[in-house]
């Protein structure tokens, strides 16, 4: 048999090249897969706290995955059901100025409703005035936020020592002791949801203080349910009523007013929902106690008689100067000029809508300026005021829709459709650096801040 050596060499060369190509392809695929995995591997953002490191990790994850979000650590009080799940991870940092505000934000952040949070706080106010280092006067038996006593106090102090938290009276110990005691009350004392769910099930802070202590108080208001399950004090009718009155005050201060919590206005990552946005615009036109008009620096009457507050510039001025750090001025011109003026004064901006951003568009006339109140998927919710585009005119509260005869109204739809923005797809947006989330929530609930 005769072999063709040239043919054999060619085959060997071909096979060698195929092997090299295959190896190169595998290496390339591995590199690409590694890079993509590094970019989009999910993290449990709910497990992140409010430390600078955790906030940077949260922002980095959302940024790499092109997700718009509102940092939950920036949110203040809430006027609706909390965003937590009751069983989520314990916070690592407190947010707020006073101890009372820190406690409110803690409870709301962990999932209590405003009614639940206020009911708990009405009790804590009576026990310790939110001082985590206070000892019971006279007998010195009780200690801390809820005046833990006897074996409960011993267990608290042992847990604090094990965690390295000092309970000695010292200004520097306030926040660590406050956070520890809140986490202990929530997770540590019982190790299960013994009071959170019953307190959260109540729809009012009010109740009948004459109900016997032996009753479980279900249906008798969050204040008395918390008192029964957690405090267990020997207060009579007068003492219990004082706790209820304190709870009402906290609900008024932080939660928007009514003893039943004022509706669902807690904001999520996408900003306002459709119903929240409608209520926001209704309250703008309603002008409760003259609040809306007072925030517009004389722009409230810019449209024809009777169309109070319906000028688009007046609404942009109202929203930004009340709820954001962006500087809108009365001499910024017509709607088409507002965003350019804001950005000329240093505001950040871009070509894409973001939650609570302001946009302008130019139609060759006066143009229009409005606010992005919410973004949900590819759909945008816009808050508008317009002298000429309200179908039935613009005056008063209306119903939050374009045909509802109110000073302000929403439009909503895909972010790339002109009708969503009342005429033209904007090409320029101004982005606020800071938004007063708790004030927006309160305005939705009460019509003023």
Same domain, yes or no: 321 and 405: yes
- Calpha distance 294→222 (Å, rounded): 36
Please report, for the chain, how many H helices and E strands are present, in that order.
14, 6
274: buried, middle or exposed (CB in 10 Å: 19+, 13-18, 0-12)? middle
Instruction: Let me know if residue 3 belongs to a domain.
Output: no
Same domain, yes or no: 108 and 250: yes
423-441: burial string, b at 16+ Cβ within 10 Å, e else = ebebebbbbbeebbbbbbb
Asked which of 113-122, 343-352, 402-411 is least confident by mean pLDDT, the reply is 402-411
Q: In this structure, are residues 32 and 22 in contact, taking their beta carbons and an 8 Å threshold?
A: no
pLDDT digits (tens, 9 = 90+) for 207-237: 999 987 667 777 889 999 999 999 988 899 9
Instruction: Let me know if residue 265 belongs to a domain.
Output: no
Same domain, yes or no: 136 and 279: no
Percent of the chain at pLDDT > 90 equals: 44
Which of 254, 287, 313 delimits the end of a domain? Answer: 254
Helix, strand, coil abundance in the chain, percent, nearest 5: 45, 10, 45
Q: What pLDDT score does 180 carry? A: 96
pLDDT digits (tens, 9 = 90+) for 28-43: 544 444 443 333 344 4
Instruction: Let me know if residue 429 belongs to a domain.
Output: yes
Instruction: Let me know if residue 37 belongs to a domain.
Output: no
Same domain, yes or no: 405 and 354: yes
Same domain, yes or no: 233 and 317: no
Instruction: Let me know if residue 361 belongs to a domain.
Output: yes
Same domain, yes or no: 292 and 190: no
pTM of the model: 0.46
- Calpha distance 37→310 (Å, rounded): 50
Q: Compute and round to an integer the Cα radius of gyration of the chain.
A: 29
Same domain, yes or no: 237 and 338: no
Tell me the mean pLDDT in the region 1-18: 48
Q: What pLDDT score does 85 carry? A: 60
Confidence category of residue 49, pLDDT binned at 50, 70, 90? very low
- The CATH number covering residue 435 comes to 3.90.1720.10
Same domain, yes or no: 248 and 105: yes
Q: Provide the 3-class DSSP secondary structure of residue 118.
A: helix
Instruction: Let me know if residue 15 belongs to a domain.
Output: no
Same domain, yes or no: 303 and 247: no
Domain count, the chain: 2
Q: In this structure, are residues 204 and 220 in contact, taking their beta carbons and an 8 Å threshold?
A: no
- The CATH number covering residue 221 comes to 1.10.530
| Alpha-helical runs (H) found in 41-98 | 52-64
Domain residue limits at 216: 99-254
Instruction: Let me know if residue 83 belongs to a domain.
Output: no
Same domain, yes or no: 289 and 238: no
Q: Provide the 3-class DSSP secondary structure of residue 350.
A: strand
Same domain, yes or no: 203 and 281: no
287: buried, middle or exposed (CB in 10 Å: 19+, 13-18, 0-12)? buried
End-to-end CA distance of the chain, in Å? 100
Which of 254, 283, 315 delimits the end of a domain? Answer: 254
pLDDT at 5 over 80: no
Instruction: Let me know if residue 396 belongs to a domain.
Output: yes
Which of 208, 226, 254 delimits the end of a domain? Answer: 254
């Amino acid at each position: 048999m005769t072999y063709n050596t040239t043919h054999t060499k060619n085959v060997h060369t071909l096979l060698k090249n195929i092997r090299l190509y295959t190896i190169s392809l595998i290496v390339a695929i591995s590199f690409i897969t590694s890079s993509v995995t590094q970019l989009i591997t999910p993290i449990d953002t709910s497990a992140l706290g409010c430390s600078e490191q955790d906030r940077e990790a949260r922002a980095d994850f959302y940024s790499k995955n092109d997700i718009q979000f509102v940092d939950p650590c920036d949110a203040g009080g809430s006027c609706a059901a909390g965003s937590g799940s009751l069983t989520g991870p314990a916070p690592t940092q407190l947010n707020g100025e006073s101890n009372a505000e820190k406690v409110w934000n803690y409870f709301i952040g962990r999932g209590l409703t405003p009614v639940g949070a206020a009911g708990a706080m009405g009790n804590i106010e009576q026990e310790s005035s939110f001082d985590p280092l206070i000892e019971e006067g006279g007998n010195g038996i009780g200690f801390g936020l809820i005046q833990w006593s006897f074996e409960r106090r011993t267990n608290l102090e042992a847990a604090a020592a094990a965690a390295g938290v000092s309970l000695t009276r010292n200004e520097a110990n306030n926040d660590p002791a406050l956070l520890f005691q809140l986490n202990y009350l929530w997770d540590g004392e019982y190790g299960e949801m013994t009071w959170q769910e019953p307190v959260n099930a109540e729809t009012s802070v009010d109740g009948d203080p004459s109900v016997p202590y032996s009753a479980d108080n279900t249906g008798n208001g969050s204040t008395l349910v918390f008192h029964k399950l957690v405090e267990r004090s020997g207060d009579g009718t007068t003492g219990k009523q004082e706790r209820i009155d304190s709870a009402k005050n906290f609900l008024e201060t932080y939660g928007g007013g009514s003893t039943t919590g004022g509706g669902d206005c807690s904001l999520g990552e996408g900003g306002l929902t459709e119903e929240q946005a409608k209520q926001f615009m209704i309250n703008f036109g309603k002008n409760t106690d003259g609040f809306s008009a007072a925030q517009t620096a004389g722009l409230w009457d810019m449209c024809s008689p009777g169309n109070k507050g319906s000028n688009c510039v007046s609404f942009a001025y109202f929203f930004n100067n009340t709820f954001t750090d962006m500087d809108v001025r009365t001499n910024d011109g017509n709607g088409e000029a507002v965003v350019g003026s804001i950005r000329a004064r240093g505001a950040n901006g871009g070509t894409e809508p973001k939650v609570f951003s302001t946009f302008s568009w130019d139609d060759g006339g006066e143009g229009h300026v409005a606010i992005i109140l919410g973004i949900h998927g590819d759909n945008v919710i816009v808050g508008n005021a317009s002298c000429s585009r309200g179908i039935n005119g613009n005056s008063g509260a209306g119903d939050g829709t374009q045909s509802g005869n109110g000073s302000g109204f929403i439009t909503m739809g895909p972010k790339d459709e002109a009708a969503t923005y009342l005429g033209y797809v904007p090409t320029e947006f101004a982005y606020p650096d800071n938004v007063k989330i708790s004030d927006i929530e309160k305005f939705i609930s009460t019509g003023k801040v």
